[in-house]
Structure 1
Amino acid sequence: MANSNKTKVITGKSTRLSYFHGWEPVSINGSPERYSVSVLIPKDDTETVNAINNAVNTAIEEGIGKFGGKKPNKASLKLSLRDGDTERDDEAYAGHWFINANSRTAPQIVDKAVKPILDRDEVYSGCYARVSLNFYAFNSNGNKGIACGLGNIQKIKDGEPLGGRSSAADDFRTETDDDFLS
């Protein structure tokens, strides 16, 4: 999908959501409340990964003013795209890159037909979705890098829920009044 903003990326359809907080903002470690999600990108989705790397490079160029007027060495920056195999001891992250994206404003959450999703149970950690991401430079309290802003979310299909979530149908059997005494 073409866009004129070179720091914006729309992920591929094989992306999954983890630690999904798209309906209500949350505070993480005492930070201001934000909408957030960890975006899991399969390592074989080279199109999305290449687009992210290009957007990060552009964000570095556009952020030179935040870096004291000089282009920093990319290796010295804190970057958004991280390796799930080495940075997370979590089966869901194996074989994936991941990006933690957040925003002060709520993302629009839509279905495959780009119609708003109103049922909050429809979008959850583990479902597959395309996510619009925007990369930007930061320099705060001695930390320099490229952060990732959360844009909008398009649910593509259901997936195995992450985080141990189970349905009531999985947890309980149907009870009748006759079962009460047994």
Structure 2
Amino acid sequence: MKITLTSVRGAFLNLFEAKTVGGEGEPRHSGAFVIVPGSENAKKLAAGLTAVAKDKWAGKADGILKDLKGKGRVCYREEPLSKDGEVYDGFEGMHSLNASNKARPLVIDRDKSPLTAADGKPYSGCYMNVSLELWAQDNQYGKRINATLKGVQFVKDGDAFGGGAPASPDEFDDLGVEEEEGETADICG
């Protein structure tokens, strides 16, 4: 089931280069996204989890989904992103979504032009639109509901998480052009 989230903040972004998580598994492009409780994005995700579960497990969907949520085996969690009880910067009082893809997702700017890592955006803390696909897993690795990250579109700047944004030229003074020492000497004699 395809879902597009609007103007969400991203964190732990690996959009341009696939990386492993904690040195385990296959390298993936990935991101964690801040979801405001009660927002349209939260409603879309909750409805999406239910729809995907019903498609996969039919009459058993409600029980399986409840079990998966209890075990943290769903991509969208109605709780802040945390590790060892410490809530990550920007996720305080928020919900969280994790999405990944082995293939590089589409990464575009506001005008739909392609972005590269050298552009310095998107970065952790900025706002972006996110295209993803929810799907149910039921195989030898167990049951889950996952999100495949299809693409992101930079929307606007936000406070960077962990200093992730590059410096702006506005942060520096214009020093003008300075002549190098000895440049004015007449060497022709």
TM range (shorter): 0.7 to 0.9
2:16 is aligned with 1:16? no
Question: Residue type of the partner of 2:143?
Answer: K
CA spacing shift, 1:88–1:143, aligned 2, 3 Å = farther
CA contact (8 A) 2:123 2:164 kept: no
In structure 1, distance between residues paired with 2:109 and 2:48 = 26
In structure 1, distance between residues paired with 2:132 and 2:89 = 24
> In the alignment, which residue of structure 2 is the partner of 1:147?
146
Normalized against structure 1, the TM-score is what? 0.77
> In the alignment, which residue of structure 2 is the partner of 1:43?
37
> In the alignment, which residue of structure 1 is the partner of 2:182?
none
- Tell me the CA shift for residue 139 of structure 1: 2.6
> In the alignment, which residue of structure 1 is the partner of 2:131?
132
* Structure 2: gaps (5+ residues): 174-189
Question: Residue type of the partner of 2:80?
Answer: G
CA spacing shift, 1:125–1:166, aligned 2, 3 Å = closer
Correspondence list, 1:1-182, <5 A: 7-13=1-7, 15-29=8-22, 30-45=24-39, 47-64=40-57, 70-71=60-61, 73=63, 74-77=65-68, 78-82=73-77, 83-84=79-80, 88-118=86-116, 119-141=118-140, 143-165=142-164, 167=166
* Runs of 4+ off more than 6 Å: none
- Tell me the CA shift for residue 153 of structure 1: 0.2
Larger Rg: 2
Aligned residues: 164
Q: Deviations over 1:5-52 (max 9, x none)?
A: xx2111122x0010000010001131100000001112242x111111
Normalized against structure 2, the TM-score is what? 0.75
CA contact (8 A) 1:85 1:95 kept: no
Aligned residues: CA RMSD = 2.9
* Structure 1: gaps (5+ residues): 1-6, 175-182
CA contact (8 A) 1:61 1:71 kept: yes
- Tell me the CA shift for residue 165 of structure 1: 3.7
Question: Residue type of the partner of 1:35?
Answer: H
Percent of aligned pairs sharing the same letter: 22
Q: Deviations over 1:80-118 (max 9, x none)?
A: 211117765223101321111000111111112222123
159-168 or 121-130, which moves further after superposition? Answer: 159-168
CA contact (8 A) 2:81 2:96 kept: no
